[in-house]
Structure formats: structure tokens, C-alpha cells
């Protein structure tokens, strides 16, 4: 079936003025660490909360003009301090594309009214997902936002990792134990794997579509990697992560489309898995705040992270001290950063004062500058 979305190239957009993130993702030395913040377009910003007063969460995700406006909010507020934007969306648009209803409830977060609790529930998933039909609004938002950025910074696209998405689809929302998802893994391992593979098919199509729409980097969020032992991660998450990297690369290569940097953020994953993740086909490994960069072979892969998000609740002296320590850990004895993208170790939280983030970004620029 012919695509209704044309493949867009750099020539279709304003020239990029700031390529720090793209260079760092390739492992290059940079004059300072490029910086972006997970959830940088979010509830801590008063302008975000104002827009949310008149629009539901998924209405914003599904309306390209609104998603674009939200994506640009932190870029406009922190001019010169952020080196990338990330399209405003949610990892749970993929389960929606598969036919599941997802709600975003105030003060509770994501909720699936009818999760996959038993094997018979798998029949409710769409057999063949037309990603352009189901998620074309994200592609439209990416194209619009790339143009509206006017080349100021690159635009990152993203998806949830299949294991994390599967866990949400079975749990029906957030969970402290993932007991339902693990009941699936340990009762029906083969069936669980088949569902994860179906999710992977959609994720690959989705990420390729984002690149064709104008995304200049891609991040895969395996937010619940921490909930799997190394053995179970190798069984239920790693195969899909490998397939995403290899399939996205091969699909883009077959269409003569340049491959953007691929970032993998497997939060809380066992350090014993880093040698395998460094060879998994991603250019950058994102690190949470409990994972030092020394765990990663940086001759093979660039790194991203990893300030504790709660540092942003500290006073200015505390933020300054912690950012300095982070920079020293990532840069070491070198004269400046190489293959390091500065970020938090997870998403920024709603209670942060936006001016504390500004100070954090200023400190990152100060302490990561090449000497």
C-alpha cells in the first residue's frame, strides 16, 4: 500500500543551527555537553498547565498544532540552554494503535479500562496495524514542529520499548509490583513473547515513520527495564530492542534515508547487561542517576544522563555542587566532553520550579565547557 506521507529530507526544513546533540551522539568531542531534559515539555511549566485547562492530554497528543505548541514551550522559555526538543506525545499511543483504550486520569496517570488480563484478551488487539492511519497525527506533529523550530535545535522522536508497553497493556496502568505482567511472563512465556513481538512490529513502523516525517534522533524508553532480572531481560526485552535497532536501520537504509542517532534508555537495567546493550545497535545509552558512566564501555557507545531529577528541588548551591560532580564524572581528566549528552536520570517532575531548571541548565553549560 502506497504511503500517504512523503519522505522528508533536511532540504525540506530550515537549516539546523545547533548540531551539538547529533555530534555527541556520534561519540565526538563537543565544546560543551549538549543538554535536553526528559519530559521537558510538561506539567512543571505554567504555560503547559494553562493549555491543559482547555484540552485533554490525548487531545493535545492527537492535535498536531497543540503538540507542536507544547513541544516549543521549553525551547522558547530556555533559549540557548536546551540543545534538543522532543516531540510532545506519550509512549501509550502505541497500545492505542493496537486497539486498546487508554485514558489519562487526573492525579492517577494512565488507565486502561480493559487491560489484557487473560489470554483470550489478545483477540482484542488489531491484527494488522496501519501506523499511518492510527498514528499519523504524530507524524504530522513532527513535521510541523520541525518547521516551527526553524533549525534552532534538533527534534527527537520516541517510542516506548515493547516490554514496557506490554507491561502497561497487562497491568492496566502504573504498578509497584507488575504482578499481572509477571504472571503473564511466568505462566504464559510463549504467548507473552508473541504479544511483545506484535508490539515490536508497530514500534518499528512507528519509529521509521517519525524519521520520514522529520525526526532527527530517536529514543526508545524501556522505563520498566528495572523490573526484570538479567535473565528475564534477555528473554523478554532485549530481543525486541535488538530487532528495533536492526530493523529501523535496515528499513531506512533500503529507502536511502540517513539513519539518525538511536538512543536507548533502559531505566534501572542491571549493570551486568551493559556490555550487551553497548552492542545492541544504539548510538547512545541513557543512564539513570544510580548508574555511573564508568559502567559503560564508552569506546563503543555514547552516553546520556544522569542527574537525579530531585536535585532540582535543592537550593542553588546544591544544584551547582551536584551538576559539577556529574560533569566531573562524565568528563574525567579530559579537557572537555566527548560522547556525552547531559540530561536527568529520568523525567523532570511536576513540582520543580522552572527557574531551578534554568539554573541547572546554566550550571551544566558552565561545568561541561571545554577547558
Q: What are phi and psi of 344, to 5 degrees?
A: -80, 165
Q: Which three cell numbers stand for residue 63?
A: 492535535
Catalytic residues: 39, 43, 52, 90, 168
Return the exposure string of 225-241: e unless at least 16 CB atoms fall within 10 Å of the residue's CB, then b.
Answer: bebbeeebbebbbbbbb
Instruction: Compute the distance between CA of residue 344 and CA of residue 306 in angstroms, rounded to an integer.
Output: 5
Instruction: Compute the distance between CA of residue 370 and CA of residue 128 in angstroms, rounded to an integer.
Output: 50
Please give the DSSP secondary-structure letter assigned to residue 215. -
Please give the DSSP secondary-structure letter assigned to residue 124. G
212: part of which helix (H) or strand (E)? helix 189-213
**CA dist 289 → 56, 84, 350 (Å):** 31, 20, 18
Cα first-last separation, the chain: 54
Cβ proximity of 136 and 5 under 8 Å: yes
Instruction: Compute the distance between CA of residue 325 and CA of residue 119 in angstroms, rounded to an integer.
Output: 49
Amino acid at each position: 500500500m502506497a504511503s500517504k506521507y512523503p519522505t522528508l529530507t533536511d532540504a525540506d526544513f530550515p537549516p539546523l543551527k545547533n548540531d551539538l546533540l547529533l555530534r555527541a551522539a556520534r561519540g565526538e568531542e563537543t565544546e560543551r555537553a549538549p543538554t535536553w531534559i526528559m519530559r521537558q515539555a510538561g506539567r512543571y511549566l505554567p504555560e503547559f498547565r494553562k493549555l491543559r485547562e482547555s484540552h485533554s492530554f490525548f487531545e493535545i497528543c492527537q492535535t498536531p498544532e497543540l503538540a507542536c505548541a507544547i513541544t516549543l514551550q521549553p525551547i522558547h522559555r530556555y533559549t540557548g540552554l536546551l540543545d534538543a526538543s522532543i516531540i510532545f506525545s506519550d509512549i501509550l499511543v502505541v497500545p492505542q494503535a493496537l486497539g486498546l483504550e487508554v485514558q489519562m486520569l487526573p492525579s492517577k496517570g494512565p488507565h486502561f479500562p480493559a487491560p489484557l488480563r487473560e489470554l483470550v484478551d489478545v483477540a482484542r488487539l488489531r491484527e494488522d496495524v496501519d501506523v499511518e492511519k492510527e498514528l499519523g497525527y504524530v507524524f504530522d506533529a513532527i513535521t510541523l514542529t520541525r518547521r516551527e523550530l526553524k533549525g534552532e535545535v534538533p527534534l527527537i522522536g520516541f517510542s516506548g520499548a515493547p516490554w514496557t508497553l506490554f507491561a502497561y497493556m497487562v497491568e492496566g496502568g502504573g504498578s509497584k509490583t507488575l504482578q499481572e505482567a509477571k504472571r503473564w511472563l511466568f505462566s504464559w512465556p510463549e504467548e507473552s513473547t508473541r504479544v511483545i513481538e506484535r508490539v515490536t512490529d508497530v514500534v518499528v513502523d512507528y519509529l521509521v515513520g517519525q524519521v520520514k516525517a522529520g525526526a532527527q534522533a530517536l529514543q526508545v524508553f524501556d522505563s520498566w527495564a528495572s523490573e526484570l532480572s538479567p535473565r528475564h531481560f534477555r528473554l523478554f526485552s532485549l530481543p525486541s530492542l535488538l530487532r528495533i535497532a536492526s530493523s529501523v536501520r535496515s528499513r531506512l537504509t533500503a529507502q536511502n534515508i540517513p539513519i539518525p542517532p538511536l538512543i536507548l534508555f533502559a531505566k534501572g537495567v542491571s549493570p551486568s547487561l551493559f556490555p550487551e546493550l553497548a552492542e545492541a545497535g544504539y548510538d547512545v545509552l541513557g543512564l539513570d542517576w544510580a548508574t555511573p558512566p564508568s559502567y559503560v564501555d564508552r569506546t563503543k557507545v555514547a552516553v546520556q544522563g544522569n542527574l537525579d531529577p530531585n536535585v532540582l528541588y535543592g537550593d542553588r548551591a546544591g544544584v551547582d555542587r551536584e551538576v559539577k560532580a556529574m560533569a566531573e564524572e562524565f568528563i574525567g581528566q579530559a579537557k572537555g566532553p566527548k560522547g556525552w549528552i547531559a540530561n536527568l536520570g529520568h523525567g523532570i517532575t511536576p513540582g520543580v520550579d522552572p527557574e531551578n531548571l534554568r539554573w541547572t541548565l546554566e550550571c551544566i553549560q558552565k561545568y561541561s565547557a571545554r577547558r
